[in-house]
Amino acid sequence: MVNSAGRDAFASVSLASASLSRVKQLVAAYVVVALGTLVTLAVLATTAPHLATDEAWGHAVIVAVFAIVLPLRTRAALRGSPSGLRALTVIGGVLLVVNLLEAALPGTFPAWMRAEMLVIAAMMLTLVILSVRVRRDRRTVA
């Protein structure tokens, strides 16, 4: 008789590891998008001020703050912290909903920023799915 419990636990740890690796890449991409948004706004502020509205700047600053917080929580999750992983799930879920709602507000943001919001929402949906998968896999092992 072969003991499959050890093999199943190894598979769960391996899946969680792969998912966390994708989370790390996704968060890095989010940071690039956040910085790109700030650079774009800085350029637009001088070349096309009507596309760099106060609302757009407010959104960009909030996105940038999360570009600092998400990598910190990702590092904690990679070290095995349950609270770091929970924070990734919650932050990703909140950013998903907020970006979808902001993108749907008529006349508030320029079209280019609405596209950026939808990209971020898609990234956060993926982040939530991956972090929930890791949490499930970790519970399976424990």
Give 72-99 as a DSSP string. Answer: HHHHHHHTT-HHHHHHHHHHHHHHHHHH
Torsion angle in degrees (nearest 10) through CA of 36, 130, 102, 91 = -90
Interatomic CA distance for residues 92 and 125, integer angstroms: 7
pLDDT the model gives residue 14: 56
Interatomic CA distance for residues 110 and 80, integer angstroms: 40
pLDDT the model gives residue 142: 55
pTM recorded for the entire structure? 0.84
**H-helix segments, the chain:** 5-47, 54-78, 82-104, 111-141
Please give the structure tokens belonging to residue 122: 């898609």
pLDDT the model gives residue 53: 93
Q: What type of residue sits at position 85?
A: L
Q: Tell me which residue of 65, 63, 61, 37 sits closest to 51, measured CA to CA.
A: 37
pLDDT the model gives residue 58: 95
pLDDT the model gives residue 12: 43
Please give the structure tokens belonging to residue 21: 């690796």
- Residue identified by tokens 């920023």 is 113
Averages of pLDDT over each 10 residues, the chain, 142 residues:
48 64 95 96 96 94 95 94 94 96 94 96 96 86 58
- In degrees and rounded to multiples of 5, residue 52 shows phi and psi of -115, 65
Please give the structure tokens belonging to residue 26: 């996704």
